[in-house]
Amino acid sequence: MSKDSGKLIANNKKAYHDYFIEATYEAGISLAGTEVKSLRMGKCSLKESFIKEKNGEIFIHGMHISPYEKGNIFNRDPLRVRKLLLHDYEIRKLKAGVSVKGYTIVPLRVYFKGQRVKVEIGLAKGKKLYDKREALQQNDMKRQAEREIRGRE
């Protein structure tokens, strides 16, 4: 995410733990007005959300956007399926990537870019248990080295 991409709304840390991210894409998302207001207040969760392709379109399932407090009858279902807006060539690349065994599409973060809400999605390959352990071990070693450097100064 670059510096001009704006305010971060939600981050999916678990995706980086469970998957190797091969490629990332920026997608728009089709939302209702009260959902945007709720996102401006930061009420969004990507936990347990996933992305599927259907009829040449990409949809995000399980993304929870809390109902807007003052939205009354205009609020939508918090877990409804939402369409992601991508170019056709990007959809074709993602479909080709998912056709390879072990690859999937995962949402990585939701953020504002100007006035628009964007979702960063990644083409990802699942990690095995030993890969996860190795990544945790490397992170621990990095943290330990940083502590030692700070201790000397």
pLDDT of residue 87: 93
Give yes or no for residue 1 having a pLDDT over 50. no
pLDDT of residue 26: 92
- Could you tell me which CATH number the domain at 3-126 has? 2.40.280.10
pLDDT digits (tens, 9 = 90+) for 4-24: 557 888 888 888 888 888 889
Confidence at 153, pLDDT banded by 50, 70, 90:
low
Give yes or no for residue 2 having a pLDDT over 70. no
Domain ranges in the chain are 3-126
Full 3-state SS string of the chain: CCHHHCCEEEECHHHHHHEEEEEEEEEEECCCHHHHHHHHCCCEECCCCEEEEECCEEEEECCEECCCCCCHHHCCCCCCCEEEECCHHHHHHHHHHHHCCCEEEEEEEEEEECCEEEEEEEEEEECCHHHHHHHHHHHHHHHHHHHHHHHHC
Q: What does the pLDDT average to over 88-115?
A: 88
pLDDT digits (tens, 9 = 90+) for 53-97: 888 899 999 888 888 777 677 677 777 888 999 999 988 888 888
